[in-house]
C-alpha cells in the first residue's frame, strides 16, 4: 500500500471516503497528478488526511458512525448462524449485536424478554417451522420486526410469511451482507412507522371519543342552565305579569306590582349573557382579541376569586391574524377553566407577545404553597386531556405547543405561531 493515504486498488471506496473527510476528488485527475497532490497537498487547500492514513484507519474512523442494532437469530444450524454472523459483520452501514437461539423453546423465551430490535427466523426448526414462531410472537404482542429466512424457497412461501406477520422474506442463497442489512434496517423503520401511525390512530380515536363526551357534557350544561336558572326566572316573570293583568281586569291599577319583576328580568338578562359568552363572546367580533382577553380575565377573576389572573398582553390587534383570534381565545379559556378544579387558591400568569417574527402565548398556573395538595386521578386525567386538546388545536392552527403539568395542580403551556 503506498504511503500517500490512497488505496489505488479500490478507488471508488476512497473517492467516497475522501469526500467524507473533506479531501479532493483525486480520481477525476490523471494518475501522475493524483500521486503529486497526495504527496504534497494542494497549494490552495491541503487534505485533512495524514500521509500515513491507510484504508484500514479509514474503516476504523467510519465505524464511529455506525448504529448498533440488537438482533436475535432463530436457527437450529450452527453453520447457518455463522453465515448470518459473518454477513452482518460485513454490513456497510450498521453494527449488529447478534444473539442466537437454536431451538423453538429458547426463541420463545427470548421473545418474552423483548430486548431485540429485530428477529431473523429460519423456516426449518426440527419438526416446527418459522411460521409457528411468527404466529406465537404476534399472539404474545411482539412489536419488533420479524424477518423469515429459508434455505429452500417454496412456492407462495413469501405470501404466507407476510400474511403471518413477517416484515420480510429472504432466501439464504440469495443473501448478501448489504441485502441482509437493508432488509433489517427497512423492517425496523417500517415497524417504527407503523407504531407511530398506530399511536396516532389511538390518540385520534381517544380525542374523538373525548370530543363527543365534551360536546354531550356542554349540551347537558346548557340544558341545565336553561332549565334550572333561565327557565325559572322566565316562569317567575310570567306569573308576575299574569297576576298584574288579572288585577288590571278587576280595575285595580297598581303599577307597583311590576316593580319586583325588574330585578328578576335583570337576572335573566345576566344569565343569557353568561350563556352566550361561554359559547362565543360578541366582544371578540366587535372589539378584537386584545380587548376580549382583558375582559375575559377580569370576568374570570370576578367569578372565581380564588384564582388570581395576571395578564400581560404586549401585542397590537393588527399583529394577530383573524384566523388565530378565536384559537387564542379558546386556548386561554381552556387553560383558565381547568385551573378552577382542585379547590385551591392559584396564581395564573398569562403573557401574549410578539418576538422574532412569531406570536408567543404562555400560560402558567401555580397553586398556593400553603394550600397545595395532590390531585385525584380523575383531575389528573382531565388535565392531560385538556393539554392534548390544546396541543391539537395549536397544531391545527399551524403553531407549536409545549405543555406539562404535575400532580399538585401546577400547569405550564407555551404556544407559538409564525407571523
Q: 256 φ, ψ to 5°?
A: -65, -20
pLDDT of residue 364: 92
pLDDT of residue 371: 61
Please write the tens of the pLDDT for every residue from 379-391: 777 788 888 889 9
- Residue 70, pLDDT > 70, answer yes
Nearest to 354 by CA among 317, 387, 329, 384: 317
Asked if 331 and 359 touch (Cβ cutoff 8 Å), the reply is no
- Reported for 271-274, long-range contacts at CB under 8 A and 24+ positions apart, including other chains, are 271/225, 271/229, 271/230, 271/233, 272/230
- Residue 3, pLDDT > 50, answer no
Please write the tens of the pLDDT for every residue from 268-320: 777 777 777 777 778 888 889 999 999 889 888 888 888 889 999 999 999 89
18-22, 278-282, 338-342: least confident range: 18-22
pLDDT of residue 36: 37
Q: List CB contacts of 128: < 8 A, sequence separation 6 or more.
A: 104
- Residue 25, pLDDT > 50, answer no
* DSSP state string for 139-195: HTT--S-EEEEESS--TTHHHHHHHHT-SEEEEGGG--HHHHHHHHHHHHHHHHHHH
pLDDT of residue 138: 86
Asked if 341 and 382 touch (Cβ cutoff 8 Å), the reply is yes
Secondary structure of 262-290 in the HEC alphabet? HHHHHHHHHHHHHHHHHHCCHHHHHCCHH
Cα–Cα distance, 260 to 274 (Å, whole number): 22
Please write the tens of the pLDDT for every residue from 113-161: 888 889 999 888 877 788 888 888 888 888 889 998 988 777 778 788 8
- Residue 206, pLDDT > 90, answer no
- Residue 43, pLDDT > 70, answer no
CATH of region 286-418: 3.30.565.10
pLDDT of residue 34: 38
pLDDT class for 370, splitting at 50, 70, 90? low
Provide, rounded to the nearest whole percent, the portion of the chain with pLDDT above 70: 79
**Which residues, listed in sequence order, are joined to residue 360 by a DSSP beta bridge?**
353, 416
Nearest to 284 by CA among 296, 275, 272: 296
- Residue 66, pLDDT > 70, answer no
Please write the tens of the pLDDT for every residue from 82-95: 999 999 888 888 88
pLDDT class for 344, splitting at 50, 70, 90? low
Report residue 369 CA to chain centroid gap. Answer: 32
Which residues in the chain are classed under CATH 3.30.565.10?
Answer: 286-418
pLDDT of residue 312: 92
Task: Give the CA-trace dihedral at 286, 292, 298, 300, to 10 degrees.
Answer: 110
∠ CA 304-307-309, nearest 5°, is 110
Highest mean pLDDT, choosing among 107-111, 250-254, 349-353:
349-353
Q: Cβ of 231: how many Cβ atoms within 10 Å?
A: 15
pLDDT of residue 10: 39
pLDDT of residue 245: 77
pLDDT of residue 29: 38
Asked if 311 and 294 touch (Cβ cutoff 8 Å), the reply is yes
- pLDDT higher for 15 or 286? 286
- Residue 38, pLDDT > 50, answer no
pLDDT of residue 372: 59
Length, in residues, of the chain: 419
Mean pLDDT calculated for residue range 199-227: 77
Mean pLDDT calculated for residue range 106-119: 88
- Residue 186, pLDDT > 80, answer yes
pLDDT class for 31, splitting at 50, 70, 90? very low
- Reported for 192-201, long-range contacts at CB under 8 A and 24+ positions apart, including other chains, are 195/143
Q: Cβ of 321: how many Cβ atoms within 10 Å?
A: 13
Nearest to 359 by CA among 391, 326, 313, 390: 313
- Residue 76, pLDDT > 80, answer yes
Amino acid at each position: 500500500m503506498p504511503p500517500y493515504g490512497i488505496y489505488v486498488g479500490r478507488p471508488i471506496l476512497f473517492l467516497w471516503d475522501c469526500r467524507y473527510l473533506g479531501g479532493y476528488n483525486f480520481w477525476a485527475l490523471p494518475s501522475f497528478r493524483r500521486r503529486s497532490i497526495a504527496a504534497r497537498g494542494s497549494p490552495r487547500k491541503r487534505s485533512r488526511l495524514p500521509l500515513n492514513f491507510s484504508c484500514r484507519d479509514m474503516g476504523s474512523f467510519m465505524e464511529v458512525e455506525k448504529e448498533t442494532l440488537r438482533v436475535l437469530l432463530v436457527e437450529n444450524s450452527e453453520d447457518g448462524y455463522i453465515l448470518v454472523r459473518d454477513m452482518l459483520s460485513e454490513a456497510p452501514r450498521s453494527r449488529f449485536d447478534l444473539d442466537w437461539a437454536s431451538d423453538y423453546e429458547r426463541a420463545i423465551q427470548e421473545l418474552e424478554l423483548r430486548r431485540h430490535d429485530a428477529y431473523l427466523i429460519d423456516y426449518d426448526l426440527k419438526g416446527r417451522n418459522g411460521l409457528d414462531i411468527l404466529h406465537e410472537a404476534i399472539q404474545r404482542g411482539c412489536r419488533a420486526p420479524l424477518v423469515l429466512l429459508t434455505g429452500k424457497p417454496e412456492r407462495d412461501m413469501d405470501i404466507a410469511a407476510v400474511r403471518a406477520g413477517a416484515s420480510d422474506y429472504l432466501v439464504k442463497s440469495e443473501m448478501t451482507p448489504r441485502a441482509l442489512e437493508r432488509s433489517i434496517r427497512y423492517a425496523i423503520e417500517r415497524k417504527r412507522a407503523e407504531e407511530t401511525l398506530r399511536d396516532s390512530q389511538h390518540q385520534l380515536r381517544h380525542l374523538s371519543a373525548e370530543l363527543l363526551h365534551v360536546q354531550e357534557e356542554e349540551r347537558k350544561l346548557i340544558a341545565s342552565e336553561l332549565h334550572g336558572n333561565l327557565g325559572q326566572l322566565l316562569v317567575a316573570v310570567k306569573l308576575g305579569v299574569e297576576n298584574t293583568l288579572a288585577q288590571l281586569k278587576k280595575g285595580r291599577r297598581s303599577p307597583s306590582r311590576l316593580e319586583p319583576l325588574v330585578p328578576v328580568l335583570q337576572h335573566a338578562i345576566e344569565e343569557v349573557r353568561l350563556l352566550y359568552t361561554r359559547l362565543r363572546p360578541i366582544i371578540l367580533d366587535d372589539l378584537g382579541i386584545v380587548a376580549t382577553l382583558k375582559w375575559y380575565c377580569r370576568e374570570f377573576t370576578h367569578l372565581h376569586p380564588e384564582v388570581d389572573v395576571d395578564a400581560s398582553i404586549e401585542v397590537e390587534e393588527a399583529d394577530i391574524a383573524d384566523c388565530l383570534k378565536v384559537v387564542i381565545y379558546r386556548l386561554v379559556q381552556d387553560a383558565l377553566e381547568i385551573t378552577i378544579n382542585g379547590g385551591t387558591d392559584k396564581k395564573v400568569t398569562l403573557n401574549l407577545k410578539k418576538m422574532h417574527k412569531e406570536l408567543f402565548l404562555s400560560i402558567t398556573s401555580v397553586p398556593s404553597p400553603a394550600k397545595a395538595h395532590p390531585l385525584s386521578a380523575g383531575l389528573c386525567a382531565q388535565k392531560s386531556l385538556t393539554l392534548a386538546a390544546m396541543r391539537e388545536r395549536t397544531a391545527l392552527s399551524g403553531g407549536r405547543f409545549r405543555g406539562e403539568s404535575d400532580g399538585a395542580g401546577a400547569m405550564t403551556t407555551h404556544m407559538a405561531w409564525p407571523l
